[in-house]
Structure 1
Amino acid sequence: MAELKADVLVLGAGMVGVGAALHLQKRGRDVVLIDRHELAGEETSYGNGGLIECASVFPYMFPRDAGQILRYALLRAPQVRYHFSDLPVFLPWLVRYFLASSPERALHSAMAELPLIQHSLIEHEALIEEANVPELWRRTGWIKLFRSDATLATAVSELERARQYGVAGEVLDAAAIAAREPHLSGAFSGAVHFPAPGFVPDPGGLAKAYAALFGRKGGRYLVGDARTLEQSGTRWRLATLEGTITAREVVVAMGPWSDQIFAPLGYSIPLAVKRGYHLHMKASGNAVLHHPVLDADNGYLLAPMNRGIRITTGAEFARRDAPPTPIQVERALPRAHALFPLGEPVDARPWMGARPCLPDMLPVIGKAPRHSGLWFDFGHQHHGLTLGPATGRLLAEMMTGETPFADVRPFAVERFG
């Protein structure tokens, strides 16, 4: 079997990898997209809330309020769960996360990521039009519900801060909530509606649509094991089902599995995961949910996906490959039934995924310092769906010698020493 060749291998066919592949292809590179699955978007890109979060200026940082930290530590808050048995594994990372979440460092992360957030919707709109999938895009924004005056006041304060950076939002009272979502039930102090973010009712389907666009434009998609990657002279070699393929450059865009490549190559990058779960439910009777709705105080989100109403959970700190423990879904279900008329489950069991996170909540984007032709594009925390095409453009500009549209220094792997 003849050896296959390409300019660039992109490892990982989630939203991040597909975004990088499309932007490199647009700049004239012969790109091969490689994944262990036969189809794109089968892992983390499939299991999110479906939001293109162009209004999320400030990343999800470690809380600084002592009472909130205590509730998380004692497992008394629905937003966070952890495995006691895995505490020795992820506690050092949590310490780094806490230190990186100081007000000064958190603002630094927010301002570094701001250009990417601001371009997220622009890049998606262009690709959705080119892929001709308008049905996978809704301009509804999303609603964040609050059940106490204290949490609502905090949210209003955060909105005022975000407005300084162009974020639009409307504070809703009970009547306005009912007008937008007449099938919701409960006592709410208020809500915030963010109108700008796009909603994707099939996130995995959108990744597949972008991968299909990549294929129509001449790109190749191969099934292979990224762990077979090795450097051979000036080229990189990897085994696929269609034979060995070599390329001058390779992009690691494997999300929570990126350590399978960088660790054997000698890079010490503090990549951890926040696991999450979702379950699809039928809507009962003629009930309709018009927006993704976050029940902020109860730690879950309902999203009107094509497959059904998707209930998604907060963060679970555990080893990436530990057995699923969907306790957050089980505890959220009674609250979700009280919020919205839900019927029978569509899924046989909850789905589990892993969000790839670095302590400063910024991705690693750029050249690996010790290996020629090796590039990194991973660690997008809660924003892989949002940022995939934007970071793909940024990486492609770096790789092809264009002037990047954003400052690339905050994303360099060298920041970890």
Structure 2
Amino acid sequence: MRYEVIVIGAGMVGTSIAWHLQSHNSQVLLLDKKPPGSETSYGNAGLIQREAIHVHPFPRHLAELIRVLPNQNTDIRYRWPAVFRYHQALLKYWQFSAPSSVQQIEKEWQTLIEHCTSEHQEMITAAGAEDLIRRDGWIEMHRDENKLKAAILGAENVLQQGIEHKVLSITQLKELEPNGNFDDFIGAIHWSNSWQVSNPGALVKAYAKSFQEKDGAIGECTVKEIRPEGDGWQVITDLDTFYSDDLVIAAGPWSNQLIKPLGYDLPLFPMRGYHQHFETTPQNTVNHSLVDMDKGFVMGPMQQGIRVTTGAEMTTIDAPKNFDQLNAVLAFAKNILPLNQKVETEAWAGSRPCMPDMKPVIGAAGKHSNLWFAFGHGHQGFTLGPITGRIIEELLHNKPTVVDIEPFDAQRFSNA
């Protein structure tokens, strides 16, 4: 069959793109090997982070590098095969993490983040998904006084950007979350205008259902190859061959393997995260997601139970699971809340697509007409899916874009 647009990748980003295009009179086919919201978009902290105006640079100070090197931290771990495989991308990451570069990158990054809640709201309303959303923010907890002071100063400096917060004493934190043990903490920040989602995968599925209600089509199959065909595209899958005028690659960490045969080699690298659910009881019920900033993990209320998510593991996308980082995190998490009964027999693991300059790739591919890229959102694909969908729709339909897309152009990498 032929469609006006085929979107490959049914995570938050790809589903949002398909939804926006279908909403603006394109006939769209959304393809993925699994149902919408089943991969990276399923396993996240469930936060739509309006406050996430800062990127995460590569450690550049000697003390920070020394901290990371033993590979025993709960926030970041690495495997040497991945370091060797992605060493060129990691070198670029280190270069882009110079303070002068980060300052400019964050200005560009913020043009996307400022639209995250408003763009999600349009899709939430259309999808009838209000029951999945809580608009009471999340809590950033600190164990170190100097880090807390720095975080408070940073929060005060972004008030003019519409980001709301309240500094909490431990007494105030305990009032909000009476089941928590916060003896090891000295204070917290409540980010009040970011949103919580009680089931991230279900929100993507709700958006996908809304897309189908607009007569959009979904195909559950594995894409084997993409080929230019005249002015359009041929997409060969394990089930059928599909044709389109335009093609959008939004396959997250799998994007590079689709586009490399066409001559693209972007410095995309995966960062893995793990999560485990625990049964919710009257003794461990919490009202907000709690983020331990010093240990680098999130624990929050989900439909499936209390979800504990790790920071990042630098590894290859197909490497076996290694639960050491998660187990280290759980030792701290169980000291905050009583987490006794696991929900899953095995913890979930998935990969986030990262770019060395900490910005996503959004826009025209460059070497081929009617080919579009939308991947590399790092930890914020769930937050930025809807604004990315809007931008791709505007580009594909030759409209003025809501943000300047030049900073996110694929061609910013010379070998692209």
TM superposition score normalised by structure 1: 0.96
* TM superposition shift of 1:78: 1.6
Give per-residue Cα distances to partners, 1:274-309, cap 9 Å, x unaligned.
111000011344431100000111221101010000
Match of 2:55 in 1: 59
Partner SS state of residue 298, structure 1: coil
* Aligned 8 A contact 1:36 1:223 in 2: yes
1:41 aligned onto 2:3: no
Residue in structure 1 matching 2:85, options 85, 89, 95? 89
Alignment pair present for 1:258 and 2:255: yes
Q: Which runs of 5+ in 2 are unaligned?
A: none
- Match of 1:235? 232
Trace 1:170-185 onto structure 2 (pairs within 5 A). 170-185=166-181
Q: What is aligned with 1:278?
A: 275
Give the counterpart letter for 2:342 in structure 1.
P
Change (3 A) 1:138 1:264: same
In the alignment, which residue of structure 2 is the partner of 1:349? 346
Distance 2:228 2:236 in 1: 12
Q: Secondary structure at the match of 2:209?
A: helix
Over aligned residue pairs, what C-alpha RMSD do you find? Answer: 1.3
**How far apart are the structure 2 equivalents of 1:245 and 1:364?**
25
For residues 360-410 of structure 1, what are the alpha-carbon distances to aligned partners after superposition, in whole Å with 9 as ceiling and x for unaligned?
111101111111211000001110110001011011101101100100100
Structure 1 residue 30 corresponds to structure 2 residue 27? yes
Identity %: 37
For residue 340 of structure 2, give the secondary structure of its aligned residue in structure 1.
Answer: strand
* Deviation string, structure 1 residues 39-80 (Cα, Å, up to 9, x no partner): 101100000000001111111222333212211122243211
Task: Report how far residue 93 of structure 1 moved.
Answer: 2.0
1:79 maps to 75
Distance 1:98 1:162 in 2: 26
8 Å CA contact 2:360, 2:377 repeated in 1 = yes
* Structure 1 CA distance for aligned equivalents of residues 242 and 60 of structure 2: 48
Q: Is the 8 A contact 2:283 2:338 kept in 1?
A: no
* Cα distance in 2 between the residues matched to 1:182 and 1:65: 38
The corresponding residue for 1:199 is 196
1:120: which partner in 2? 116
Match of 1:148 in 2: 144
In structure 2, the CA distance between the partners of 1:263 and 1:166, relative to structure 1 (3 Å rule), is same
From the superposition, tell whether residues 93 and 242 of structure 1 become closer, same or farther in structure 2 (CA, over 3 Å).
Answer: closer
Aligned residues: 413
Residue deviations 1:228-264, cap 9 Å, x none? 2211222211234663210011000000000111111
- Corresponding residue of 1:131: 127
Question: What are the superposed Cα offsets for residues 184-229 of structure 1, whole Å, 9 maximum, x if unpaired?
Answer: 1032110011001111110001000000000011000012322322
SS of the aligned residue for 1:345 comes to coil
Structure 1 CA distance, aligned partners of 2:221 and 2:73? 41
- 1:162 deviates by 2.7
Q: Which residue in 2 is equivalent to 1:322?
A: 319
Name structure 1 gaps, 5 residues minimum.
none
- DSSP 3-state at the match of 2:114: helix
CA distance in 2, matches of 1:388, 1:174: 35
**Normalised TM-score (structure 2):** 0.96
Cα drift, residue 118 of structure 1: 1.0
User: C-alpha distance in 2, partners of 1:104/1:19?
Assistant: 33
Partner of 2:94: 98
The answer to whether the Cα contact below 8 Å between 2:174 and 2:182 also exists between their aligned partners in 1 is: no
Q: 1:302·1:311 contact (CA, 8 Å) conserved in 2?
A: yes
Give SS of 1:229's match: strand
